[in-house]
Amino acid sequence: MPATSTGSFTLLHRFCALVVLLTFVHISVSLVFYVCSTDVSTAFLSIPKNPNRTVATEQLRSAEDHLGKELELQQCPDTSPLLGRGREVCVCVCPLTVELMCVYVTCVSVGPLTVEFGVEVTLQQVKEKNPDVMEGGWRPSDCVSVQRVAILIPFRHRDEHLKLWLHYMHPILQRQQLDYRVYIINQAGERRFNRAKLLNVGFTEALKDYDYNCFVFSDVDIIPLDDRNIYGCFDQPRHLSVSMDKFRFRLPYKQYFGGVSSLSKEQFLKINGFPNNYWGWGGEDDDIYNRCVFKGMTISRPSAQIGRCRMIKHKRDAKNDANPRRHSQITHTRETMETDGINSLTYKVVDIKKLQLFTNITVDVGQP
């Protein structure tokens, strides 16, 4: 055979060998990806289960367990990246907490907010704008929030105010990356209103749903003007509605603790909850302030700028007239707080409805 023919055959032989090798590598890689992307129990369905599994199967399961731990959600940052000061923030959303897996960018306007009460809002509109809110609550999908917050609103005959509150607050609470749920504590009947007792009921009933570690107590007619005013808990009891338009954006007096406040579960139990015997308007927030001070705690507040709020103007409810005994009751807080509170709470649940935007708890709290 001529030398040129021999050389061509050798070259062709080498080329064929290379093709075979590449085919083998391709099949091997495909097999590895198939095994890694298939449930072990499915991939080895034909193999009967027994306690003496092969070393290879054990190693594969160990690798899957390790991968699962790698994909566990991290704790949410102390300050949400979605909050700021009057600027647009864009955040890359990574469903698997891996930078290369970012699939889209979400941009929101943050910081000082424009709150208008002249607009008409329906519950359906609020639902459509907050599709991820279920049973009145939401939690981050890309991190684990340290704050498990129950937001409690004492309520009766304030449906229009509630629509506005839900319209503004659900987006804010989600940007704050809170694990939260909204509870409307609705007082049944037409007897004199008892705000503090309703909040005690909310605390008790909310803990039947979830292991909350933080409670925000909010009137339904107050909206914050800055999303950096965190509706969460701190080392000390927190007063959130620091400067309201009603008071020309000033704190009316140093001991003022009304409107919106927050206490951790431990702080709330330490003061024996709120008083049950304040019927009608006024006094209970000063009693709560006294309870905190008498238990060695101080009231923390955001800055006057971040703590700015707007209040919806309205007439006082007919059955929420001023409490004539409030001044006398406040002077006896130290004497009554150990026996009048969460440890002496009595009420009757009339109805509970878990709706998309809030959980409604209607209760009979009795009468004076």
Distance CA 282, CA 145 (A): 35
Tell me whether residue 181 is in a domain: yes
133 vs 129, 136, 142, 171, CA distance in Å?
9, 6, 15, 10
Torsion sign (Cα): 166, 167, 172, 177: positive
Tell me whether residue 61 is in a domain: no
The two three-digit tokens of residue 224, written as one number: 């914050």
Tell me whether residue 321 is in a domain: yes
Digit-coded pLDDT (tens) for 258-294 = 999 999 999 999 999 999 999 998 999 999 999 999 9
Digit-coded pLDDT (tens) for 151-178 = 999 999 999 999 999 999 999 999 999 9
Instruction: State how many domains the chain has.
Output: 1
Report pTM.
Answer: 0.75
DSSP summary character for residue 319 = T
Tell me whether residue 217 is in a domain: yes
CATH number of the domain that residue 246 is part of:
3.90.550.10
The backbone region for 248, taken as left when phi is positive above 0, alpha when psi lies in -120 to 50, beta otherwise, is: left
DSSP summary character for residue 105 = E
Cβ atoms of 272 and 345 closer than 8 Å: no
Residues 6+ apart with CB under 8 A from 246: 311
Digit-coded pLDDT (tens) for 38-87 = 443 433 333 344 444 455 555 556 555 544 544 588 999 988 999 864 44
Tell me whether residue 27 is in a domain: no
Tell me whether residue 38 is in a domain: no
Helix 195-206 vs helix 284-294: angle between axes, to the nearest 10 degrees? Answer: 60
Q: Which sequence positions are flagged as catalytic? A: 219, 221, 281, 284-285, 311, 314, 316
Tell me whether residue 274 is in a domain: yes
Domain hosting residue 346, numbered range: 119-364
Q: How would residue 311 be classed by pLDDT, with cut points 50, 70 and 90?
A: very high
174 vs 48, 140, 322, CA distance in Å?
48, 8, 36
Distance CA 249, CA 226 (A): 13
Coil vs helix vs strand at 334 = helix
Cβ atoms of 184 and 123 closer than 8 Å: no
List, in sequence order, every residue forming a beta bridge with 181; answer none if it has no partner: 137, 150
The amino acid occupying position 32 is V
